[in-house]
Structure 1
């Protein structure tokens, strides 16, 4: 199965949303004041992190982009594309950490992506094919989870995506 790169999926959604929203706004001069512009900047940074195998950093950036976008009709496609990207980053983070919690989160997120995709795009042939690919990916994640359990890999809580904190200094005797 060949998938579009995750960056392409979100970039297309961001471009389409910009067109729908009339991208030139009073906020265009200050990206921090425009959630869409800020999400685009975070997406660009996340794409770089993802492409350079810094999956935890990409996760944090895509989560921030998701959090700043209001849940409106105009941003639903972007938010759903971000869910897909976050799921794929979790899947790739598992490859580095071997923490099956990443796989569980990826599976849950892709199930959500698929459900929302149905609401967003209906039953057009391209949409049905996209969801079939998401279903195939979910089946792959389920197999990866089963394999992980068979190897005895242990799940540990994941950080919230923030930079790791420094360990507390040991007390002096």
Structure 2
């Protein structure tokens, strides 16, 4: 099966954007950072330290799903960095199609919190990481998800992602 999209998912600070960009470059696909799809009111909420609600997230997820649909229609794959914390969010991104794969970046909360705290120039404060971990519904039973440990450096994670997708026959 040809896949239309790879969604690099996980809590803020786990490396979604960095790993996603590296993987997209290796595949020769477009890369989209899900943060760029948030409406301004979501960004302001997060900047103020207020966790987003499901109602806040639905328009954001719809915009990302539309980008995936564009990739599907155009036959050009896309890698998207998107937290996709709940099964319902991942289902919205799947949009009833079997051509989306998820790479779940996972690791020790302390490591991820330290990385988030060290980030500069991002609106997501480290104080919201706990709410993201609380919201996360691990994709343990979802066949289209590959778990990847965030402990290695991003190039190694992207390499492991590529190898896992290749083993599954998702990419050539």
For normalisation by structure 2, the TM-score amounts to 0.31
Give the structure with the higher percent strand: 2
Give the structure with the higher percent helix: 1
For normalisation by structure 1, the TM-score amounts to 0.31
Which structure's relative contact order is higher, taking Cα pairs within 8 Å and 6+ residues apart? Answer: 2
